[in-house]
Structure 1
Amino acid sequence: MSRYVEPSSVNGRVVVRDVTVVDPLDGRRSPGQDVVVEGGRITSVTATGAPATDAHVLEGRGRFVVPGFMDMHMHALNTPKDVDGTYALMLVNGVVGFRQMSGNRALLKARNQGTLPQPAGAPALKATAGDLLTPLNASTADGAVQAVREQHRDGADFVKAGMTTRDTFLAALQEANRLGIRLGGHLPADLDPREAARAGVWSVEHLGPGVTVFAAASSKESEVRAGNPTRKLPPIPRIKIPGAEKLAMKLIKGMVTNPATSTSEVEAHAYDLADGSYDQRKAEELAALFVEHTTWQCPTLIRVHTQQFGDSPEHTEDPRRRYMAPEELRTWDKSSKKFSRLPDVTRNALRNHWDAQLRMTKTFADAGVPMIAGTDACGAAGIIPGFALHDEFGHLAEAGLDPLTILRMTTTEPARFLGEEGRFGRIAPGMPADLVLLDEDPLESHTALRAIAGVMRDGSWWSRADLDAVLERIAAEPGAH
């Protein structure tokens, strides 16, 4: 049961009648269509006929239907026993599936046993990693290899590199490739992204993070790299003692709320140097390499924005904070105060880097680098689950991406990314009945993706009025993380 989402009364056989179907694959609009759903699947998409008498009929005239949205970088199941509020916000915003970017053995076991929470309207867990690769489990190359083997054994869908060095990252990647499990995540500061691409890294998150990718597009690359130090991590116990893992994860959580609060002036100088020596030719060469090796990018622009503008009223006074659990907001506010105490030179370098991130995103998109939309919601300061995906759409548009590209990044591209092309992400017979009904044309503007008239998840329908009622319940008892 959900505290916030009441079970749908519209399910079974449902017809979305006389609607314009939008296909993200080719950008085609097909007006005057009846989309028939039954048993959690789309059974037919045909020209509008006589009203059905044996089904729930949803009138779609003047509206547009698109596949449900995927958030390909989330941490919703960091709190598996208290995920209800997060899931509810995802439903309200048309998010029907996600990739969990941090897991553990218990989470993998619960997933395999089918015991993960599934409140009404819950999104689909499309993929999950095991434990992040950090100095706790991957302080050496041998340790990184062993961690990959254990996650492969436990049934992880992929391995995520969190805090590694070049040597531990490449050792883990080589073993992952040998075992046939994908590895993606954060590139360490001392690793050339071109080397990672050639070695077969699956995905790069947050455009790096840091300056690593931008160094490869600098005319002063060697100088930028020399001034881009690997961050020193807080002391983490290296021996197996009771509570060591919990202590380590608490330390890591404190860092990831907003890593920018730990930016040194040396790092700030590396940002300034990289951005001031940007070389478009080198950026395009890097993009071409990513295309050649199918190195996916998940920019999470909303994440980097909340980091680099950590004390901006846009985030600290966001009215949607009313949906977040109070303890979460206390952590965010503590982080924003820490950010505000950074030296001006550091804060300016972080803020000025935003334009470089938009430029790089556009360069990648123009070159055809494969990209997916993600937010890093749940644990990251200033990011409101569900709503953050629409914030991401806005930042992608700010970078210059067109509406169709943005729609693909949250529908058909996630299917291709996960090796499930043709299994979800389109409105077609046999596809999951995960739909979003829009009042506006999503091929005209990305803003149409938030003009939600209703959401269908696994064949159950929630109208705009239903979704607004969900928001009221969350605001009355804030519980999202």
Structure 2
Amino acid sequence: MLLFGAHASSAQPVAFVNVNVIPMDRERVDVPWAAQTVVVSGDRIVAIGATTDTAVPDEATIIDGTGRYLLPGLVDGHVHLLGFGPGPRENFADGPVYLANGITTVVNMGGPSSPRRATELEWKRRVEAGALAGPTIYTAGAFVNEPRVKTPEDVERDIRSQARDGYDFIKFHELDDTTTGLSLASYRKMIDTARDIGIPIVGHAPNNLGVDVMLEARQPLAHLGNLSNIYFLPLAAHRGYLLVTATAFFLLIAAAALSGAPPHSRWIALATFVAFVCLSLFLPGGPLFESVALRMIVTVLTLLVAIGSVASVIFAVKIWREPRSPAPARMRASLASIASVALAVVLTTFWTPVAWRSSARGIDALATRIHDAGISVQSTLVVYEAIGGVNRLYRLPAFNMKVARALHRAGVPLVAGTDARGIPQLAPGTPLHRELQLLHESGLSPHEVLRAATVAPAILLRKDHEFGTVSVGKRADLLLVERNPLQDLSTLKTPLGVMVRGRWLTRERLQQMRAAVLK
């Protein structure tokens, strides 16, 4: 493994002369600062100014920036250094791959509790010391969730322990169907403890608790796609509705199939079936997720089922009041009326409201609530593209881009991240460039895309005083590219050179380092 000491020249100052600077230190800049000189000493930017007015130390290494563009190094705001399943190459051999892609900082989201977690802290410290080549690492420790921690006391102990061990932030991880999720008391203790000791927290959506709890807690979200699980189709917190729906539907089918069934049973069953076919077509991931007409059909069918359920109850009452009615007829009528009423209730109180949550107006309403709560959201759009690209009917990637567009319009801070090594399809480095392109296609301007991969992650980690902009006093993490990225984001894929913590690496050197670890 190549060490920085073998290829870095950080002992003397470095000056980028006559370069176009994209500082990222303000909300909107459509034109780079032309003809600037940026001086770096050690690992810090020490001077920025017009080339005609800025002194360059005599001993400085001069990098000609004429016609070139200098911007902050990129941040992948969501990676898993150790991955899942087979481990990565030893000694953070992915580090040069990140650097070759212009990524000077990674935000490691940790993983399940394991003795290997200490490896991430070791890599972090060795990278900072210059013993390993790679981006600066900010890392979480073991995922916080039950069954590893259950009670509020467990949660508080764990968070304080991770902070003492040197982890930079806490990762709350929703464990899906393997557990029930943290209790409300434990979840709130997690949020309160992290705030009390001043350590950032980011996590999956607490699906078992619901979106209102997450918004009240102001918990930054690790995946934009988690909004489907907690809000657009919140089945984890409402499994009772699934059970009632399935049971009532099959009971109604059974009643309708019997001779002498109540006259309304068959068309109530048909209306319910059609409603759920429509739901499957437009709920998140469905091929017609933008269809207002299908949502209207579901609403009308729900009304018809409700009317039919009233008719079924009236029919059952008549059957029971008729002294000569046989017991089987009474049973069929009762079964059909109970099933019809149950379907009317779940369609009215759950399925139809959920159907409209993922409409354009529903998405905008949620985006406004997230903005008002002050929550940032990690985009990770490339994840859903990677896992859903083979199925043309599966349109969750497109739905998530629509959500990203709404969040951006509402002013929600988006943090670019890839989940690299979090799933097998996403290797380190290159997926970030696809993520940036997806954000651009979602409606963000190039400057806003760059902000999501520079300033926004720094703010999330409360390290915006350290990195994220080209400013005096900031860490010298810089990217030199041939073309203006405010006009062409693809230029970020092939940097002319990368400076990481004040160490300058040319394109040729980056490619040599990358090739060495990919043999």
- Cα RMSD, aligned residues only: 3.5
Query: In the alignment, is residue 130 of structure 1 matched against residue 141 of structure 2?
Result: yes
Where does residue 336 of structure 1 map in the other structure?
Answer: none
Query: In the alignment, is residue 161 of structure 1 matched against residue 164 of structure 2?
Result: no
Shift of 1:62: 0.3
Q: Which runs of 5+ in 2 are unaligned?
A: 245-278, 292-354
Aligned mates of 1:152, 1:435 — CA distance in 2? 29
Which deviates the most, 27-36 or 81-90? 81-90
Query: In the alignment, is residue 212 of structure 1 matched against residue 222 of structure 2?
Result: no
Where does residue 106 of structure 2 map in the other structure?
Answer: 98
Shift of 1:150: 4.1
Which deviates the most, 161-170 or 295-304? 161-170
SS in 1 for 2:34: strand
Distance 1:379 1:114, change over 3 A: closer
Shift of 1:46: 1.6
Which deviates the most, 67-76 or 155-164? 155-164
Aligned mates of 2:88, 2:458 — CA distance in 1? 24
SS in 2 for 1:425: coil
List per-residue Cα deviations over 1:424-476 (Å, max 9, x = no partner). 1111211111100011111113223224111011111111121222233234x
Shift of 1:20: 0.6
Aligned mates of 2:56, 2:191 — CA distance in 1? 53
SS in 2 for 1:390: helix
- Decide whether the 8 Å contact of 2:19 with 2:34 is kept in 1: yes
Q: 1:76 aligns with which of 67, 71, 81?
A: 81
Distance 1:228 1:450, change over 3 A: farther
Aligned mates of 2:42, 2:5 — CA distance in 1? 20
- Decide whether the 8 Å contact of 1:75 with 1:376 is kept in 2: yes
Shift of 1:269: 8.9
Distance 1:463 1:133, change over 3 A: same
- Decide whether the 8 Å contact of 1:10 with 1:460 is kept in 2: yes
TM-score between both structures, scaled by the size of structure 1: 0.73
- Decide whether the 8 Å contact of 2:152 with 2:189 is kept in 1: no
- Decide whether the 8 Å contact of 1:144 with 1:172 is kept in 2: yes
Q: 1:284 aligns with which of 343, 351, 364?
A: 364
Aligned mates of 1:87, 1:398 — CA distance in 2? 28
Aligned mates of 2:75, 2:133 — CA distance in 1? 14
Q: 2:423 aligns with which of 377, 380, 405?
A: 380
Q: Would you say how many aligned residue pairs link Structure 1 and Structure 2?
A: 399
Q: Which AA in structure 1 matches 2:32? A: R
Distance 1:31 1:113, change over 3 A: closer
Where does residue 54 of structure 1 map in the other structure?
Answer: 59
Query: In the alignment, is residue 393 of structure 1 matched against residue 436 of structure 2?
Result: yes
Shift of 1:157: 3.1
Q: 2:497 aligns with which of 434, 437, 454?
A: 454
- Decide whether the 8 Å contact of 1:36 with 1:42 is kept in 2: yes
Q: Which runs of 5+ in 1 are unaligned?
A: 230-265, 313-346
- Decide whether the 8 Å contact of 2:414 with 2:452 is kept in 1: yes
Aligned mates of 2:226, 2:516 — CA distance in 1? 38
Shift of 1:383: 1.1
- Decide whether the 8 Å contact of 1:71 with 1:389 is kept in 2: yes
- Decide whether the 8 Å contact of 1:2 with 1:84 is kept in 2: no
SS in 2 for 1:468: helix
Where does residue 30 of structure 1 map in the other structure?
Answer: 33
Shift of 1:14: 0.7
Where does residue 269 of structure 2 map in the other structure?
Answer: none
Where does residue 39 of structure 1 map in the other structure?
Answer: 42
Distance 1:415 1:149, change over 3 A: closer
Which aligned pairs between 1:321-336 and structure 2 lie closer than 5 A? Answer: none
Where does residue 298 of structure 1 map in the other structure?
Answer: 378
Q: Which has the larger radius of gyration?
A: 2
Q: Which AA in structure 1 matches 2:7? A: P
Shift of 1:270: 5.7
Distance 1:268 1:121, change over 3 A: farther
Where does residue 2 of structure 2 map in the other structure?
Answer: 2
Distance 1:224 1:372, change over 3 A: farther
Aligned mates of 2:488, 2:7 — CA distance in 1? 32
Shift of 1:18: 0.3
